[in-house]
A and B are shown apart, each in its own frame.
Chain A
Amino acid sequence: MVDFDQDKVAPEKQPASERPLPEKAKRMPGMYIRERVLIACAVLLIALFGFTAFIARQYHHRIHQYADQWFARGEAAMNEGQTSAAINDYRNALVYKPEDPTFQFHLAQALARAGQEVQARTYLTNLLSEDPSSGPINLTLARIAVSEKNNLDAVRYYHSAIYGVWETDPLQQRWEVRSELCEYLLNHGNVQEAEPDLIALAQEVPMRDVGREKTAGNLLLRAGLWSRALSEFRAVLDTDRRDPDALAGAGRASFQLGDYVEAVNYLNRLPRDKRDNPDQAQMLQIAQQAQTMNALRPGLRISEQARRAENALSVAKMRIAACDKQRRETLTGAAGAAPDELQKLYAVMQQNNKAWTFPGLSTHPDQIPSAMSFAFQAESAATKLCGPPRSEADKALSLIASKHPGQAGE
């Protein structure tokens, strides 16, 4: 048995055959010894090279097998929603193919899905340094930035993804990413920042693609780009006249544009279940009310204008009275005290009490704009003093006022 103490490093005894030749002896005979040894080395090298090539080939074959097996397991786990198992499988796959960008990307996606954003970002940043124009990598980084509430990076990565390279169906992918970006910006109230992308999004909708037209229309509605939204919904309605989403969207857009006739028209065409939706129902009511009160709509007969103006004035009077009651003040005002806005308006109303009736307005149609202006000012003053309007009629009147800013300020 070998003593362990002998394992210590000690001077090795060299066999006599392997001892170096003296200087003289190795001049010429040594040359031939060396030649033979070197030829033997060359032969051995070739044999060892062949052997190594063989085992390296087998090794790589095995390694690739393992990599693909683990990756397939990872994909299966991911599809089953088992993210943490998928992460382990992808990591195992990466042990055998560490440079594979697909494996790295899938691992990063799994990590991001598991909430391990920091780790995912490291992989993705690395991948991005190799392929800065990759659409999918930029998109995943954008989503990570969104989850980390990093607005600046999110927008930057979204834009890089939009202008990046997509291997399959690039137009559709870019449109989807832009839509996601718009959604993100609108969710965070960055309407102004979203506008250029929303406009581009609407322009890039393929013809007759109802789904995307509706998506674009809804996003435009959320951004307050009413006329563009209306165009999108109209395009949908050209394809399918009864599409409820398009009807609702078009109704809302028309309503916001002040086209109450169109709004009522669209909203009335909604199926009953959609129309009963509280939002739609309220909008319909307001639109209908606004229709009965908007004396300023061009093309109306004088009698109709007078009737609508009288209607609006009566709503305004009721609003003033209600506000007065709410404030527990007298509209005539206390003696010696300066009258407030509502009291002044009340005084104007008392002065024009006779002129601002249906017969008076029918006889003197030139008074109609003044009457409507008074009604708008009354609504505005009441809103200032008593809060926003509650009744549909008041809301309708405020809405008409907002569409006629010149009249409201008189």
Chain B
Amino acid sequence: MTPQPSSTDLPPAGAESLFERVRSAWQAWIQRIFGEREDQLFLFLAVLIGIFGGLAVVCFRVAIDWVQFVLLGSSLYPGWPRVVIVPAVAGLGIAALVIWVFPRSRGSGVNQTKAAVYVSNGYIPFDTVIGKFVVCALAIGSGQSLGPEDPSLQMGAGIASKIGRYLKLSQSKIRLIAPVGAAAGLAAAFNAPLASTLFVIEEVIGTWSAGVLGAIVLSAVSSAITMRYFMGAESLFRVPYVQPAHPVEFLGYAVLGVVGGGVSLLFTKWIAYARPRIQALPRWTHFLLPAIAGLIVGVIGIWFPQVLGAGYSIIDQALHGEFAWRLLLVLAVMKLVATGVSFLSGTPGGMFAPTLFIGAMLGGGIGAIEHHFFPSITTSVGMFALVGMGTLFGGFLRVPITSVFMVIELSGSYTAALPVMVSSLIAYLISRHYQEVALFDMLTRQEGLILPSIEERREQEAFLVEDAMRAEGAFVVRPNEPLADLAKKAEAQKELPMLLRVRMGEWRLLDGEDLQRLANDGTTPHTASEVKSKGPLPLLFPDESIEEAMRWLGDWPVIPVVSRADLGQLEGALTFPDVLKAVRKAKAE
């Protein structure tokens, strides 16, 4: 006899159904999010990566400051023995770590991330993240003239890459996930999600890809929020009240643009010249290079301790007009030397903060000189320093769009947008004219890689349908046209295809043989609508790209090019030989 279960052994009916409902809801959600559409998962991951990136950068920033407190003390102006000894001795440690433990941690991190996206399918080993964290914290904390932003970018990309690999994402998503992490890292380091998003698009991805833009924005925002949760919402520097400039004062910003462009060029040329030569030095010297760089930075730091480290607080002081013009210009030169030496020595660290530093000093210096000669200028020296930051960013890093948005984001005001647009654009044009390849692309090319550049793409002339189409490339046939007349026309223009305009926006390709057959049939009169035809044909517009046209040319021998205002009006016709001919002609020119 089977014992009957008592009523107390059974789970309560209501509780069971609730449990089942929760479980089935969970499974359905999991299925929906992770099982069906990878795009949804990708957006979810962007947020996750943003939070991870933000947390990593918080720890990174704390580590840098902690190293600085321990090694250099808490003062902006440490005593000279510390200033000389600490960067040099730390340099020996950095060299050992880079050579023996974390060889992938060299460089700024931006071009390495870009290379990972395009060469390694988004694969960034996780030891790069750890290496960047440890070595950069030691380097920047000990006073080397480098910044934490670019390493943060690479750390974010590395974390994202690791998560993507663990999740077994498709190859295409793995490739895209590294820039998503890069945006997270940079947004947290810079506390400027908008500028970070633009930078990653301009410099890392190198193209405006709609597919990844949403994920980048999500990760940058979630990372910046994470950063602000732990470190506060303050921006890296306190930007003073920005007053609108008088139109005449834009001349002053133009001067700043010219000088900024010159300095950017000088800095880039120096690195381009010296880097391959230093890398070619005997291997044993690489153990000493960071220490020598540290010693040089330390010696500069005896008189100008402001150049040590990232220098955010010094930028802050410059923004508040705390330095006289001579000191500002001297600091700009000294920081340029210190940063160049630190970077060329192979010490890992970023170029963002030093670029902002040099720009702020240069801008402030030029602003102060202009004030000296034209006391009626209403714009403050701090405003010039702010614009100077954007100017060097545009000229040296060659990211003009990012530079404008960065200044807007940092100042929290659109008032600075116009001045920085003027100044940054001039600097960019000067730098672009005299230095064909931008800094990060140049560094990558020195390593034997050629990666896509948004700058080059931006300047490529678009090849359009109107460049290849033939205006008289076909003749238009109306459906009710008698075949007798049509046959004569077709005989006269044998080489031209006949396009039948059925109605507005519907075009068909008439079969010439069938037309002749029907035309020769003398029993009954025929019209064009009775002739065999292919279609409806895809339509092209004159301003569309050739790439768009090529998608259709494989399937159709000819494609009508019509007016956007009237789809029944033929502007021309495009065939594959037309495209080939136009391409050859363009190359010959």
Q: Which residues of A contact B (CB under 8 A)?
A: 1-12, 14, 18-21, 23, 26-28, 30-31, 33-35, 37-38, 41, 45, 48-49, 51-53, 55-56, 59, 62-63, 66, 69-70, 88, 91-92, 94-96, 98-99, 111, 116, 118-119, 122-123, 125-126, 129
Contacts and interface: CB of A to CB of B under 8 A. Distances in A.
A12 B116 contact: yes
A20 B170 contact: yes
A92 B305 CA distance: 13
30 contacts: A1-B100, A2-B100, A9-B111, A9-B112, A9-B115, A9-B444, A9-B447, A10-B119, A20-B174, A26-B168, A26-B170, A31-B35, A33-B168, A34-B41, A37-B163, A38-B48, A49-B51, A49-B55, A52-B230, A59-B62, A63-B65, A66-B74, A88-B77, A92-B76, A98-B237, A116-B322, A118-B381, A119-B322, A122-B240, A126-B320
Contacts of B74: 66, 69-70, 92, 96
B380 interface: yes
Contacts of A119: 320-322
Interface in B105-125: 106-107, 111-112, 115-116, 119-121, 123-125
B580 interface: no
Interface of B: 30-31, 34-35, 41, 48, 51-52, 55, 58-59, 62, 65-66, 69, 74-77, 98-100, 103-104, 106-107, 111-112, 115-116, 119-121, 123-125, 163, 165-171, 174, 230-231, 234, 237-238, 240-241, 279, 283, 286, 313, 316-317, 320-322, 346, 380-382, 444, 447-449
Contacts of B99: 1-2, 4
A28 B449 CA distance: 39
Contacts of A12: 116, 120, 123-125
A171 to B, nearest CB: 31
B234 A23 contact: no
B79 to A, nearest CB: 13
B231 to A, nearest CB: 7
A14 B34 contact: no
A98 B448 CA distance: 44
Nearest to B371: A118
B96 to A, nearest CB: 11
A34 B447 contact: no
B168 A95 contact: no
A88 B76 contact: yes
Contact of A41 (B30, B48, B59): B48
Contact of A126 (B112, B123, B174, B240): B240
B120 A14 contact: yes
Contacts of B321: 118-119, 122
B68 to A, nearest CB: 11
A200 to B, nearest CB: 31
Contact of A2 (B76, B103, B168): B103
A209 B69 CA distance: 53
B100 A122 contact: no
A1 B307 CA distance: 33
Given A52-B230, A53-B230, A7 B104 contact: yes
Contacts of B230: 52-53, 56
A27 B38 CA distance: 10
B313 A7 contact: no
A30 B119 contact: no
A38 B34 contact: yes
Contacts of B279: 4-5
Contacts of A26: 168, 170
B449 A59 contact: no
Nearest to B63: A55
A387 B167 CA distance: 104
A1 B62 CA distance: 32
A109 B504 CA distance: 77
Nearest to B77: A88
A130 to B, nearest CB: 9
Most chain B beta-carbon neighbours within 10 Å: one of A35, A53, A116: A35
A95 B317 CA distance: 10
A6 B102 CA distance: 12
Contacts of A59: 62, 65-66
A8 B163 contact: no
Contact of B169 (A2, A20, A69): A20
Contacts of B30: 31, 35
B283 A55 contact: no
A18 B166 contact: yes
B119 A9 contact: yes
B238 A99 contact: yes
Contacts of B231: 56
Contacts of A66: 69, 74
A7 B99 CA distance: 9
A125 B241 CA distance: 7
Contact of A94 (B98, B100, B169, B313): B313
A66 B72 CA distance: 14
Contacts of B121: 14
Nearest to B75: A92
A95 B240 contact: no
B93 to A, nearest CB: 16
Contacts of A10: 119
Contacts of A4: 99, 279, 283, 286, 346
Nearest to A35: B30
B234 A99 contact: yes
Contact of B58 (A3, A56, A70, A95): A56
Nearest to A30: B168
A294 B103 CA distance: 105
Contacts of B120: 11-12, 14
Contact of B55 (A7, A52, A88, A116): A52
Contacts of A55: 59, 62
B286 A34 contact: no
A12 B162 CA distance: 13
Interface-centre pick from B66, B238, B322 (highest chain A CB count, 10 A): B322
A202 B145 CA distance: 61
Contacts of B77: 88, 92
A33 B121 CA distance: 21
A307 B240 CA distance: 76
A34 B448 CA distance: 37
A14 to B, nearest CB: 5
A119 B313 CA distance: 15
Nearest to B44: A38
A6 B65 CA distance: 31
B11 to A, nearest CB: 26
Contacts of B444: 9
Contacts of A8: 447-448
A49 B225 CA distance: 13
